[in-house]
Protein backbone atom coordinates (compact mmCIF):
# COMPACT_ATOMS: atom_id res chain seq x y z
CA UNK A 1 0.00 0.00 0.00
CA UNK A 2 1.29 3.42 -0.90
CA UNK A 3 1.75 6.17 1.64
CA UNK A 4 -1.16 8.10 0.12
CA UNK A 5 -3.45 5.06 0.38
CA UNK A 6 -2.33 4.49 3.97
CA UNK A 7 -3.06 8.12 4.85
CA UNK A 8 -6.55 7.85 3.32
CA UNK A 9 -7.12 4.69 5.36
CA UNK A 10 -6.03 6.53 8.50
CA UNK A 11 -8.34 9.49 7.76
CA UNK A 12 -11.22 7.04 7.29
CA UNK A 13 -10.78 5.91 10.90
CA UNK A 14 -9.56 9.10 12.60
CA UNK A 15 -11.44 12.38 12.42
CA UNK A 16 -9.66 14.35 15.17
CA UNK A 17 -7.23 16.78 13.50
CA UNK A 18 -4.80 16.80 16.44
CA UNK A 19 -4.67 13.01 16.43
CA UNK A 20 -3.98 13.05 12.69
CA UNK A 21 -1.16 15.55 13.29
CA UNK A 22 0.22 13.27 16.01
CA UNK A 23 0.29 10.39 13.53
CA UNK A 24 2.07 12.59 10.97
CA UNK A 25 4.65 13.55 13.61
CA UNK A 26 5.27 9.92 14.55
CA UNK A 27 5.55 9.05 10.85
CA UNK A 28 8.20 11.75 10.33
CA UNK A 29 10.26 10.70 13.35
CA UNK A 30 10.06 7.04 12.41
CA UNK A 31 11.22 7.87 8.88
CA UNK A 32 14.18 9.79 10.29
CA UNK A 33 15.08 6.96 12.67
CA UNK A 34 14.92 4.45 9.81
CA UNK A 35 17.35 6.62 7.86
CA UNK A 36 19.63 6.86 10.89
CA UNK A 37 19.65 3.08 11.40
CA UNK A 38 19.68 2.26 7.67
CA UNK A 39 16.33 0.47 7.93
CA UNK A 40 13.33 0.34 5.58
CA UNK A 41 12.13 3.95 5.63
CA UNK A 42 8.77 3.18 4.02
CA UNK A 43 7.96 0.40 6.49
CA UNK A 44 9.00 2.44 9.51
CA UNK A 45 7.17 5.56 8.33
CA UNK A 46 3.96 3.60 7.69
CA UNK A 47 4.18 2.05 11.16
CA UNK A 48 4.40 5.56 12.60
CA UNK A 49 1.59 6.90 10.45
CA UNK A 50 -0.82 4.07 11.25
CA UNK A 51 0.09 3.26 14.86
CA UNK A 52 -3.03 4.91 16.33
CA UNK A 53 -5.50 3.99 13.56
CA UNK A 54 -7.88 2.50 16.14
CA UNK A 55 -7.55 5.25 18.76
CA UNK A 56 -10.98 6.84 18.30
CA UNK A 57 -12.59 3.41 18.30
CA UNK A 58 -10.77 2.25 21.47
CA UNK A 59 -10.23 5.49 23.43
CA UNK A 60 -12.61 4.37 26.19
CA UNK A 61 -11.08 0.89 26.30
CA UNK A 62 -7.26 1.32 26.45
CA UNK A 63 -6.62 -2.39 26.85
CA UNK A 64 -8.04 -2.88 23.34
CA UNK A 65 -6.01 -0.03 21.80
CA UNK A 66 -3.44 -1.33 19.33
CA UNK A 67 -4.94 -4.84 19.37
CA UNK A 68 -7.87 -3.60 17.25
CA UNK A 69 -5.49 -1.49 15.15
CA UNK A 70 -3.16 -4.43 14.52
CA UNK A 71 -6.12 -6.56 13.43
CA UNK A 72 -7.26 -3.81 11.05
CA UNK A 73 -3.80 -3.51 9.54
CA UNK A 74 -3.40 -7.27 9.24
CA UNK A 75 -6.70 -7.45 7.31
CA UNK A 76 -5.41 -4.70 5.01
CA UNK A 77 -2.39 -6.88 4.20
CA UNK A 78 0.36 -4.92 5.94
CA UNK A 79 3.56 -6.82 6.74
CA UNK A 80 3.62 -8.78 9.99
CA UNK A 81 6.58 -6.73 11.26
CA UNK A 82 4.54 -3.53 11.00
CA UNK A 83 1.42 -5.14 12.48
CA UNK A 84 3.38 -6.44 15.48
CA UNK A 85 5.09 -3.08 16.09
CA UNK A 86 1.68 -1.38 16.16
CA UNK A 87 0.37 -4.03 18.54
CA UNK A 88 3.26 -3.73 21.03
CA UNK A 89 3.46 0.09 21.10
CA UNK A 90 0.75 -0.07 23.78
CA UNK A 91 2.40 -1.58 26.85
CA UNK A 92 -0.99 -2.51 28.38
CA UNK A 93 -0.60 -5.88 26.69
CA UNK A 94 2.77 -6.81 28.20
CA UNK A 95 4.04 -8.09 24.86
CA UNK A 96 7.79 -8.03 24.25
CA UNK A 97 9.28 -5.45 21.92
CA UNK A 98 11.50 -7.69 19.82
CA UNK A 99 12.80 -5.63 16.92
CA UNK A 100 14.35 -2.23 16.50
CA UNK A 101 11.11 -1.17 14.77
CA UNK A 102 9.08 -2.19 17.85
CA UNK A 103 11.39 -0.30 20.19
CA UNK A 104 11.53 2.80 18.00
CA UNK A 105 7.75 3.10 17.66
CA UNK A 106 7.27 2.60 21.40
CA UNK A 107 9.73 5.37 22.33
CA UNK A 108 8.71 7.75 19.55
CA UNK A 109 5.00 7.87 20.35
CA UNK A 110 5.33 9.96 23.55
CA UNK A 111 8.37 11.89 22.32
CA UNK A 112 6.26 13.65 19.70
CA UNK A 113 3.86 14.83 22.41
CA UNK A 114 6.72 16.25 24.45
CA UNK A 115 8.07 18.10 21.41
CA UNK A 116 4.67 19.55 20.52
CA UNK A 117 4.08 20.66 24.13
CA UNK A 118 7.51 22.32 24.19
CA UNK A 119 6.68 24.28 21.04
CA UNK A 120 3.27 25.31 22.34
CA UNK A 121 4.58 26.86 25.57
CA UNK A 122 6.80 29.24 23.59
CA UNK A 123 5.20 32.57 22.66
CA UNK A 124 5.94 31.89 18.96
CA UNK A 125 4.34 28.42 19.12
CA UNK A 126 6.86 27.24 16.51
CA UNK A 127 9.17 24.24 16.38
CA UNK A 128 11.97 26.41 14.94
CA UNK A 129 12.46 27.98 18.37
CA UNK A 130 12.82 24.63 20.18
CA UNK A 131 16.21 22.98 20.57
CA UNK A 132 17.40 19.84 22.35
CA UNK A 133 18.57 21.79 25.40
CA UNK A 134 15.09 23.30 25.79
CA UNK A 135 13.54 19.82 25.40
CA UNK A 136 15.87 18.33 28.00
CA UNK A 137 14.91 21.06 30.47
CA UNK A 138 11.20 20.40 29.88
CA UNK A 139 11.76 16.64 30.05
CA UNK A 140 13.18 17.05 33.55
CA UNK A 141 10.13 19.05 34.73
CA UNK A 142 7.79 16.40 36.10
CA UNK A 143 4.74 18.68 35.84
CA UNK A 144 5.35 19.49 32.16
CA UNK A 145 3.48 17.41 29.55
CA UNK A 146 2.56 14.71 32.06
CA UNK A 147 1.04 12.52 29.36
CA UNK A 148 4.43 12.20 27.67
CA UNK A 149 5.70 9.26 29.70
CA UNK A 150 9.35 9.81 30.53
CA UNK A 151 10.02 6.11 31.11
CA UNK A 152 8.83 5.29 27.60
CA UNK A 153 10.82 8.11 26.00
CA UNK A 154 13.90 6.96 27.96
CA UNK A 155 13.52 3.50 26.42
CA UNK A 156 15.38 5.01 23.45
CA UNK A 157 18.41 3.57 25.22
CA UNK A 158 17.23 0.17 23.93
CA UNK A 159 18.08 1.61 20.50
CA UNK A 160 21.56 2.59 21.69
CA UNK A 161 20.59 6.25 21.46
CA UNK A 162 21.13 8.74 24.25
CA UNK A 163 18.14 10.83 25.22
CA UNK A 164 19.77 13.88 23.61
CA UNK A 165 20.42 12.01 20.34
CA UNK A 166 16.87 10.68 20.26
CA UNK A 167 15.37 14.09 20.94
CA UNK A 168 17.61 15.65 18.29
CA UNK A 169 16.51 13.18 15.62
CA UNK A 170 12.87 13.58 16.60
CA UNK A 171 13.02 17.35 16.63
CA UNK A 172 14.80 17.44 13.26
CA UNK A 173 12.12 15.22 11.73
CA UNK A 174 9.24 17.24 13.12
CA UNK A 175 10.77 20.54 12.05
CA UNK A 176 10.79 19.11 8.53
CA UNK A 177 6.98 18.88 8.56
CA UNK A 178 6.29 21.91 10.77
CA UNK A 179 3.84 23.39 8.24
CA UNK A 180 1.74 20.20 8.23
CA UNK A 181 1.79 20.21 12.03
CA UNK A 182 0.86 23.89 12.22
CA UNK A 183 3.97 24.54 14.28
Q: CA-CA distance, 181 to 175, in Å (whole number)?
A: 9
Please tell me the number of Cα atoms within 13 Å of 92 on its side-chain side: 11
The 10s digit of each residue's pLDDT in 73-95 is 999 999 999 999 999 999 999 99
pLDDT at 129: 95
pLDDT at 108: 98
Contact 107, 86 (CB under 8 A): no
In Å, what is the CA distance from 24 to each residue of 3, 49, 112? 11, 6, 10
SS3 15: coil
Which CATH number belongs to the domain containing residue 162 in this structure? Answer: 1.10.3210
Non-local (6+) Cβ contacts of 160 within 8 A are none
Opening angle at CA 3, ends 75 and 169, nearest 5:
115
Closest CA to 21 of 155, 130, 161, 115: 115
Number of domains in the chain: 1
pLDDT at 3: 97
Q: CA-CA distance, 148 to 141, in Å (whole number)?
A: 11
pLDDT tens string, the chain, 183 residues long: the values are 999 999 999 999 999 999 999 999 999 999 999 999 999 999 999 999 999 999 999 999 999 999 999 999 999 999 999 999 999 999 999 999 999 999 999 999 999 999 999 999 999 999 999 999 999 999 999 899 999 999 999 999 999 999 999 999 999 999 999 999 999
Instruction: Print the domain residue range for 48.
Output: 3-181
Amino acid sequence: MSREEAYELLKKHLKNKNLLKHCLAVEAVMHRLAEYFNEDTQLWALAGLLHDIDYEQTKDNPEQHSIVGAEMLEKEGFPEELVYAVKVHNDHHGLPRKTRLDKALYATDPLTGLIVAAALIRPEKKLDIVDVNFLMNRYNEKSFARGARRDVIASCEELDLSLEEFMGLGLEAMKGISDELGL
